[in-house]
Amino acid sequence: MSSEVQPHQPGQEVFKAILPDDVDWKPFPAFPPSVRLAVVVGQPSKPGPYTIRVKSPHGAKLMPHKHSEDRVYTVISGVFYIGLGDEFDASKLQAYPPGAVIILPGNTHHFHWAKSGEYITQITAMGPLGLEYLNPKDDPRNNNAT
C-alpha cells in the first residue's frame, strides 16, 4: 500500500463549504443577458475539474449549442428542460426535476428552455469549458454591435 498523497485539484486543497447565499452569480458572455453562472469549484477556463451552477429565469432559452467536454448536470431547483438536436424544437424537450442527474457527452448539440419557471443546475466537468452555438446568430457574444 502506497502512502503517497495525490496532488490536490484546483480549489480542493483545503476544507471549505459554499453555502447557497455565498454563491457568486455573474453574467456570462456566452449566455443570454438574464442567465447567470457561478463558479463553485475549480477554474473552468483551465484544464482540470470544475463545478459551476447556472441559473436561468423563467422564459430564457439557450439555442442549440455544444460543449467540447463531457458534462454531468444535477438539477438543484426548478424544472430543467433540455432537448437534443440541431434545431430548437419544443417537442424534443425533456423535463427533469430537482435531484435529477443528466449525463451529456461532449460535442452533443442540445438546447434549454426555462419553460415552467426559474431553474438552477450544477454542472461538473473537466475544463476548459467550451460553448459553441450551432448558428453564430444565436451566440450572445456576436450580438454586441447593435
What are the pLDDT digits (tens) for 34-76?
A: 999 999 999 999 999 999 999 999 999 999 999 999 999 999 9
Residue 10 lies in a domain: no
| Residue 43, domain CATH | 2.60.120.10
Residue 120 lies in a domain: yes
What are the pLDDT digits (tens) for 97-144?
A: 999 999 999 999 999 999 999 999 999 999 999 999 999 999 999 986
Q: What does the block give as the cell for 63?
A: 439555442
Prior bond of 128 cis (ω within 30°): yes
Q: Supply the range of the domain harboring residue 35.
A: 23-142
pTM for the full predicted model: 0.91
**In the chain, how many domains are there?**
1
Q: Distance from first CA to last CA of the chain, Å, rounded?
A: 63
CA distance 111 to 92: 10
Residue 74 lies in a domain: yes
Residue 136 lies in a domain: yes
CA angle, 141 as apex, 138 and 80 as ends, to 5°? 55
